Amino acid sequence: MSERNGIFAGEDPFRLAQAWLAEAEKSEPNDPNAIALSTVDSAGLPNVRMVLLKEIEADAFVFYTNYDSRKGQEIAATGKAAFVIHWKSLRRQIRVRGMVEKEEGPKADAYYASRSYKSRIGAWASKQSRPLSSRAALMADVARLTASKGASPARPPFWGGFRIFPLEIEFWADGAFRLHDRFRWDRQTLADAWEVHRLNP
């Protein structure tokens, strides 16, 4: 598509997303990899929360969390998720919708091991999304696990990654007079080739 040039140029949406994120890392003051992740519950009611995108692979977007959390349970039930990543400094955003699979192998182990010790213990201590009687109770669990897990705790079996394989990726850039530039890459199945469409603002 001849008009898809400049910041939208390229034939690989994952490389384009990587390039935009790399640019944002130079200008965004905090967490340029923060995404608003959306899932739905059994009644179809949406949930959205901020998580950190940890990797853009050649064909997927990866983040890590507690599998027993609400988002983990909702992803397990539907196998689907969506997110938006927005950069105020660049006036750009990327929207993604797709299918989700767990990443719970050596790659998850390696990422867990790369985290700070306190974050690793915190993953063990937090019963994410479930009621908590007090912060003191949480810190007591942290102290107990610090004593029992030693200096190099293994990755909890209930904690790991999710890999989103997109069926749709939209790149958006701010335009004058609200006449934004939008290009949507979409496909019916993961085996299909991408189609790219310019969208109205």
Active site residue 178: yes
CA distances from 138 to 19, 51, 54 (A): 39, 21, 26
Short-list 25, 41, 146, 8, CA closest to 90? 25
Kindly tell me the burial class for residue 49, based on how many C-beta atoms sit within 10 Å of its own C-beta (0-12, 13-18, 19 or more).
middle
The SS3 of residue 45 is coil
Cβ–Cβ < 8 Å for 76, 65: no
- Out of 97, 178, 182, 184, pick the active-site residue: 178
**Alpha-carbon distance 133 to 100, whole Å?**
32
Tell me how far apart the alpha carbons of residues 84 and 9 are, in angstroms, rounded to a whole number.
20
Using H for helix, E for strand and C for coil, what is the string for 103-152? ECCHHHHHHHHHCCHHHHHHHHHCCCCCCCCCHHHHHHHHHHHHHHHCCC
- Residues belonging to the active site: 178
